[in-house]
A and B are shown apart, each in its own frame.
Chain A
Amino acid sequence: MSASELSNRGRTWFDALAGGAQRIETGLASVLVADATLADERVRLLAIVPDPHNRFPRARHGEVGLDEAWALAYHVRAAIAADRSGVQRPLIAIVDVNSQAYGRIEALLGIFLSLAAAADAYATARMSGHPVVALVVGKAISGGFLAHGEQAHRLLALDAPGVMVHAMPKESAARVTRRSVEELDALGKTIIPMAYDIRQYARLGLLRELITGIDADAPSAPQITRVKERVAAAIADIRVDPGDLTSRLNNPEAKVHRAASIEVRRRLAEQWNA
């Protein structure tokens, strides 16, 4: 992957939402953190961006690597600690993550635990009263998304080309399931959870909102204003009714396409004390 192919969306949307707010030093060019003002409130923005000079070569294209995941955990937990006796500032994960770093040294040094630490920090923030919103502006692939986004109260995504959520990069998924990439694409059209397309993903009821009419790569000022409004609305909604990840089951799409999830929870509860 050449430098020109590296996605700039994480940085674009970080800058758009930061609006000139001072960046917090993370020590990593791949991890952007700032406390910005959104709807008259201080919010913490967090983004992972490509760093072609990353000291870990497998984390140079916007993957969540060892350093990135621990840094996310650090900066999320720093906000939790600072706000313990005040207003819990909202946390906004800006998501354009090209999966996790796939390498031998990542395996050896336990990247599974690094990602667990990031997920843990976001979930802890969620349970400590911080509204947590994930805004998907590009790729949200696999472990990268589990570490940076999936533990949010609410998932928002831009309805734009190149915005996708998936459990595994396509070529790997093809190899592991012994299918061709073409077969995988065809399957995604009929089997909704297999799709790479964000509109299909929205049918699963997992997104709170799919924000339409936005240029994900070069947003106009009014488009940025609208995205900010939608994020602020999600924060206000969380403050009224935080819920947890199971709140993603309470919507018309989930009732159709996640009927099995709902049925398992209902029947297991019935049998638990039987």
Chain B
Amino acid sequence: MTPTEHCTDPTAAERRDRFLSRRSVIEMRARERAQALLDPGSFRELLGPFDRLESPWLPLQGIVPESDDGVVIARGELAGKPAVIMAIEGAFQGGSMGEVSASKIAAALRLARGDWESGKAILPVLLLETGGVRLQEANLGEAVVAEIHAEIIALRRHVPVIGVIHGMVGCFGGMSIAAGLCSYLVVLPQARLGLNGPEVIEQEAGIDELDAGDKQMIWSLMGGEQRYETGFADALIEDDAEQLRQAIRDLAARGLPARHRSEAVDDYQRRLAKIDPTRPLDGPALRRLWPQGDRQ
């Protein structure tokens, strides 16, 4: 599926109408995104701003906390079926995972597993707009991100865990590992997905290794389209809430994968063995080596 494939040979007028009726996911805040994904009227936020669960660590460092710590947990229905959306707000502290924000996600995943264990179905969807661990809460953020990993792995025995990376922050650090653990991943072309943010690679390895200012090169390495075309993501969609809803429904309908991407050890070891690190390799070359759909 490419961004335009599902729409066969549209006329100019149809293309224009479709563009005008699109609701940009990127331009929304996390709460609006969760509302847009759930069926109208079904949105119920848990631990919302009025619960005032803030970061206890940011004020100690002179940073103003937010009353939801940058994560929205919402229950509701998606196409008439129970769902929980865990949406990270990229506009607050770069979507970083602190003790509270990460705990909200870990706890929601665990409660969703509890539902399955008592016979109740619920679809978990993660909106991953995050720079990774919040460095002002470093070790606690990281510890709770490990709990998120543990909970995704435990929950996806029951139900596909669906991750979405829309952009523009992207998905980095420990939360990129969370993305790697998801059953299915939806990306937009504006997304970036990588363990190390470009600035961190430049800092650690030098500007000759990677120039964090070279946007085109960054997207050719870790952009949404690149990740989709090389089999690291399962759906590539345009920036439109309805397309995202549809993509999530389609992936949920697939049921559990025969094996998860992070379980495909022999497959990736075989692929890596064929890589020669002494020879140049760029994004387009990897698309030829590891085409989407090639993984066994």
Which residues does A use to contact B, with CB under 8 Å? 55-58, 66-67, 70-71, 73-74, 77, 100, 102-117, 119-121, 123-124, 126-127, 142-143, 145-147, 150-151, 165-169, 171-173, 175-177, 187, 190-195, 201, 204, 206, 244-246, 248, 258-261, 263-265, 267-269, 271-272
Contact = CB atoms under 8 A, between A and B. Distances in A.
A67 B272 contact: yes
Given A108-B283, A176-B135, A245-B146, A113 B261 contact: yes
B133 A107 contact: no
Contacts of B205: 58, 102-104
| 6 closest residue pairs by CB, A with B | A116-B180, A112-B176, A150-B146, A102-B204, A167-B138, A264-B103
B262 A120 contact: yes
17 contacts: A70-B272, A73-B262, A104-B209, A115-B195, A117-B180, A146-B174, A146-B177, A166-B138, A166-B142, A168-B135, A168-B138, A187-B61, A190-B60, A191-B61, A204-B139, A206-B143, A272-B75
A265 B103 contact: yes
Contacts of B209: 58, 102-104
Given A119-B181, A177-B136, A258-B99, 13 more contacts: A70-B268, A70-B269, A73-B262, A100-B196, A107-B196, A111-B195, A112-B195, A119-B262, A143-B195, A146-B142, A173-B135, A260-B55, A268-B47
Contacts, number: 245
Contact of A167 (B106, B133, B196, B268): B133
A10 B27 CA distance: 47
Contacts of B222: 107-108
A78 to B, nearest CB: 9
B201 interface: yes
Given A104-B201, A120-B262, A167-B139, A109 B275 contact: yes
Interface in B44-62: 46-47, 51, 53, 55-57, 60-61
Query: Looking at chain B's contact residues, is the secondary structure mostly helix, strand, loop, or mixed?
Result: helix
Chain B, interface residues (CB within 8 Å), range: 35 or more
B138 A127 contact: no
Nearest to B226: A108
B203 interface: yes
Interface stretch (B16-24, B30-38, B148-156, B250-258): B148-156
A102 B197 CA distance: 9
A272 B114 CA distance: 11
A218 to B, nearest CB: 28
B277 interface: yes
B85 to A, nearest CB: 14
Contact of A268 (B111, B144, B275): B111
